[in-house]
Amino acid sequence: EGHNLQEHSIVLCRVGRVKDCPGVTIKCVRGKYDLPHVVKKER
């Protein structure tokens, strides 16, 4: 849940439309550089 990105973090982006955000055509790739994989919460 959430992220730990800061102002000068390095991320890898790819072109791809986000369906729930009109006008946004870039996605950040999770698990590359400073953007970690999604960590699932345990119940």
Residues 10-24: pLDDT tens digits? 999 999 887 888 888
Average pLDDT over residues 32-39: 86
Please check whether residue 19 lies inside any domain of the structure.
yes
Distance between CA atoms of residues 10 and 32, nearest Å: 9
Query: What is the structure's pLDDT at 38?
Result: 81
Query: What is the structure's pLDDT at 1?
Result: 59
pLDDT interval class at 40 (50, 70, 90): confident
The total number of structural domains in the chain stands at 1
Please check whether residue 13 lies inside any domain of the structure.
yes
CA-to-CA separations, 15 to 25, 28, 39, 43, in angstroms, rounded: 6, 9, 24, 34
Please check whether residue 43 lies inside any domain of the structure.
no
Please check whether residue 15 lies inside any domain of the structure.
yes
Domain that holds residue 26: 1-38
